[in-house]
Amino acid sequence: MMTLAALASLIIAGYAAFYLIMCGAFPFGNCRRCHGTGKLYSKIFSKSFRLCPRCEGTGRRVRIGRRVYEYLRGEYKTGSR
């Protein structure tokens, strides 16, 4: 019989594996500031907008898991020289 701690650790490990696979397949996510539109609309004038400074108007951002992967890969490459 599985204990609660063993079941919780198995669920966390499964979620982490799923997240890593998703970061490999889909490295970009929607920008959180502009919600993927690339535009920030004015609160006073509803039709005027400017490009989102966080994503530079693309509406996309690199996921945190992909950033960690790229960092670790770079460290591995510099360590093996």
The pLDDT tens digits of the residues spanning 48-74 come to: 999 999 999 999 999 998 998 899 899
Nearest to 53 by CA among 24, 28, 31: 31
Taking the whole predicted model, whether its pTM rises above 0.75 is answered as: no
Contact indicator for 62, 24 with CB cutoff of 8 Å: no
What are the structure tokens assigned to 64, written together? 């945190």
pLDDT tens-digit readout, 2-44: 799 899 999 999 999 999 889 889 999 999 999 999 999 988 8
Radius of gyration (Cα) for the chain, nearest Å? Answer: 19
**Both structure tokens of 55:** 């994503």
Nearest to 11 by CA among 69, 19, 22: 19
Distance of CA 72 to the CA centre of its chain: 16
